[in-house]
Amino acid sequence: MVQLTEKFLAAVAGWPVIFEARKIRAAGKVKAARYDPPLLKGAVRAGSRLYASGLRIASPQEVENICSCRISQAEGDGMICPHSVAVALEVIHGEPSPHPPARP
């Protein structure tokens, strides 16, 4: 399986997309995220829509964007959209930690 890291995401999506994805995640728009290799799946809110986002990561060289957004649909497999990368970031940084933050 391919280990999800920001370096890997930057290689497949590019840093501008990572920065955009960080903003999406920081805004709390990632509603679900799960990595069941090779499938990364999640849900991302964008405006009034909720996109089913994710990636199919067959290998580091074979990454398919499975997001339901227009960027993904229009550009086909070549373009990884910020939604899917935001889901990946959520998996990377949102894993249960030994010390979960207290909920207000």
Q: By CB under 5 A, name the binding residues for Zn ion.
A: 67, 69, 72, 81, 83
∠ CA(84), CA(73), CA(67), 5° rounding?
25
Nearer to Zn ion among residue 2 and residue 53 (C-beta): 53
| Least distance in angstroms from the C-beta of 38 to Zn ion | 18
* Residue (25 or 83) nearer to Zn ion, CB: 83
β 39-46/49-59 pair status: antiparallel
- Write down the residue that tokens 């939604």 correspond to: 83
User: For residues 13 and 69, which CB has a smaller minimum distance to Zn ion in the complex?
Assistant: 69
CB of 59 to Zn ion, least distance (A): 21
Cα dihedral: 68, 15, 98, 27 (round 10):
-60
Cβ at position 63, least distance to Zn ion in Å = 14
